[in-house]
Amino acid sequence: MMPPWRQRTYDPPQFNPYSEKEAALAGQEWDMQRIGQCPGIPGFEALMAESLEALGEPGMVERLLRRLGEALGSHKVVLFCPLPGSDDPLAAYQWGMPDDFLARYANLIQGCDAWSEALERQEGAALARGGSLSQQLVSTPELRRGAFYADYLRPLGIDAMVNSIVEASPAVGMHVLAMYNDLGQSEFTPEQFARLRAATPWVRSLMRAQRRLQQAKRHTSALERTLDQLPLGVMHVNRRGELRYLNDHARAWLGIEDACRILLHSATGWQARQPLQLAQIHPALVPLLGTSLSTQTPVSARLQPQHAGAPATLVALAAPLRGGTAPATGEALAQFILVPETPPHAGATVSVCSTLYGLTPAEAALLPLLLQGMTPREIADTRQVKMPTVRSQLASLYAKTGTRGQAELAQRVLRVAALVA
Same domain as 363, residue 335:
yes
More confident residue, 389 or 51: 389
Identify the band that residue 12 occupies on the pLDDT scale cut at 50, 70 and 90.
very low
Same domain as 300, residue 343:
yes
Q: For residue 19, what pLDDT is reported?
A: 39
Given 217, 240, 268, the domain boundary residue is 217
Q: For residue 147, what pLDDT is reported?
A: 87
Domain that holds residue 416: 223-420
**Res 62 pLDDT > 80:** yes
pLDDT tens-digit map of 367-405: 888 877 788 899 999 999 999 999 999 999 999 999 888
**Res 9 pLDDT > 70:** no
Contact 160, 181 (CB under 8 A): yes
Identify the band that residue 10 occupies on the pLDDT scale cut at 50, 70 and 90.
very low
Instruction: Work out the mean pLDDT of the chain and round it to a whole number.
Output: 78
Q: How many CB atoms lie within 10 A of CB 134?
A: 25
Residues 20, 34: Cα–Cα separation, whole Å: 17
Identify the band that residue 8 occupies on the pLDDT scale cut at 50, 70 and 90.
very low
Same domain as 210, residue 67:
yes
Same domain as 102, residue 25:
yes
Same domain as 209, residue 115:
yes
Same domain as 296, residue 209:
no
The three-state secondary structure class of 368 is: helix
Phi, psi of 351 (to 5 degrees): -65, -45
The region of weakest confidence among 20-24, 55-59, 226-230, 291-295 is 20-24
Given 198, 217, 236, the domain boundary residue is 217
**Res 61 pLDDT > 80:** yes
pLDDT tens-digit map of 292-313: 888 888 888 888 887 777 777 8
Same domain as 235, residue 208:
no
* Cα 78–chain centre separation: 24
* Cα 343–chain centre separation: 34
Q: Give CA separation, 53 vs 80, 275, 391, in Å.
A: 22, 22, 54
Kindly tell me the sign of the dihedral angle through the C-alpha atoms of 113, 116, 120, 121.
Answer: positive
Identify the band that residue 27 occupies on the pLDDT scale cut at 50, 70 and 90.
very low
Q: For residue 316, what pLDDT is reported?
A: 87
Average pLDDT over residues 356-370: 89
Q: For residue 371, what pLDDT is reported?
A: 75
Q: For residue 4, what pLDDT is reported?
A: 41
Q: For residue 259, what pLDDT is reported?
A: 60
CATH code of the domain containing 294: 3.30.450.20
- Those residues whose C-beta lies under 8 Å from the C-beta of residue 385, and which sit 6 or more positions away, are none
Q: Which residues of 22-41 are buried (b: 16+ CB within 10 A; e: fewer)?
A: eeebbeeebeeeebeebeeb
pLDDT tens-digit map of 236-268: 898 888 888 888 888 888 888 766 555 554 445
Q: How many domains does the chain have?
A: 2
Same domain as 228, residue 143:
no
Identify the band that residue 94 occupies on the pLDDT scale cut at 50, 70 and 90.
very high
CA angle (277, 285, 320) in 5-degree steps: 90
**Res 355 pLDDT > 70:** yes
Given 165, 189, 217, the domain boundary residue is 217
CATH code of the domain containing 23: 3.30.450.40
Same domain as 280, residue 204:
no
Q: For residue 15, what pLDDT is reported?
A: 32
Phi, psi of 170 (to 5 degrees): -60, -30
Same domain as 140, residue 190:
yes
Same domain as 234, residue 212:
no
Same domain as 228, residue 213:
no
